């Protein structure tokens, strides 16, 4: 079964907009799990515009499902807080300082040595490692050479092309997934997956272990309610 990890960055963005503690991030994470989410994802950035470093520690105390911390290991206090909290999984993302959102996967060939050292350090601490990659066979093969446990396919291009031509949109992801399976890599996916495209993606990607969804899910929850929304996303993965 493919697990649903709910990214709660947007909840933190809403909280920070007023400078207080409403909505409370810990309470929302607990509720997400209670409503059926099988994981919680956060992406602390150096500017702390949504997830604050203190949130990483507070969430560690209460998350009872898979705890996934994603981010750029070369910036801010990322490595420090990951090592301090030892989440279930760390997802390495090469987003640049100030980026609105993640917008590219790793060049796993150019960054092989860097990634290999980082991955080994996290694995030695008992943390499963996933690295963010584009649906490119060479990048998938490069990822395997780093020693990572999993890759996360960056799905923005799929989501953008899906309304026009779903078969063309999914094709490179199928090939990347098949190669990942051949190489023994675990397979995650995320970015712009939604109620409209998730079922099709899930049905066509072999060996999909986890999807991480935040923006679309939280946006849907404004209309549908958080519990109902999580249940609807779970149904897309059945």
Instruction: For residue 215, indicate whether it is catalytic.
Output: no
Separation between Cα atoms, residue 184 and residue 136, nearest integer Å: 16
Hey, is 204 helix, strand or coil? helix
Q: Which of 43, 50, 152, 210 is catalytic?
A: 43
Q: Which of 33, 50, 152, 191 is catalytic?
A: 191
Q: Where are the beta strands (DSSP E) in 137-235?
A: 150-154, 186-190, 208-213
Instruction: For residue 202, indicate whether it is catalytic.
Output: no
- For residue 69, the tally of other CB atoms under 10 A from its CB is 25
Among left, alpha and beta (phi > 0; psi -120 to 50; other), residue 182 is alpha
> Any idea which residue has 């790793």 for tokens?
106
Instruction: For residue 70, indicate whether it is catalytic.
Output: yes
Q: Which of 33, 70, 152, 210 is catalytic?
A: 70
Separation between Cα atoms, residue 182 and residue 184, nearest integer Å: 6
Catalytic residues: 43, 70, 191
């Amino acid at each position: 079964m493919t697990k649903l990890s709910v990214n709660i960055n947007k909840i933190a963005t809403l909280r920070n907009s007023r400078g207080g503690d409403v909505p409370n991030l810990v309470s929302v994470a607990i509720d997400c799990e209670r409503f059926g989410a099988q994981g919680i994802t956060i992406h602390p950035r150096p500017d702390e515009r949504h997830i604050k470093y203190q949130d990483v520690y507070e969430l560690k105390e209460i998350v009872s499902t898979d705890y996934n911390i994603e981010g750029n290991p070369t910036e801010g206090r990322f490595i420090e807080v990951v090592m301090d909290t030892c989440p279930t999984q760390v997802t390495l993302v090469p987003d640049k300082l100030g980026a609105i959102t993640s917008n590219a996967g790793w060049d796993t060939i150019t960054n092989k040595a860097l990634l290999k050292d980082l991955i080994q350090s996290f694995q030695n601490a008992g943390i499963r490692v996933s690295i963010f990659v584009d649906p490119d066979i060479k990048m998938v093969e490069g990822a395997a050479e780093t020693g990572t446990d999993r890759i996360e396919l960056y799905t923005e291009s799929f989501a953008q092309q899906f309304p026009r031509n779903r078969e063309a949109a999914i094709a490179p992801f199928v090939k990347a997934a098949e190669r990942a399976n051949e190489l023994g890599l675990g397979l995650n996916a995320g970015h712009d997956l939604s109620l409209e495209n998730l079922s099709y993606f899930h049905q066509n990607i072999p060996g999909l272990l986890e999807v991480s969804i935040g923006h679309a899910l939280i946006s849907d929850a404004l209309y549908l309610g958080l519990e109902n929304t999580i249940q609807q996303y779970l149904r897309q993965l059945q």
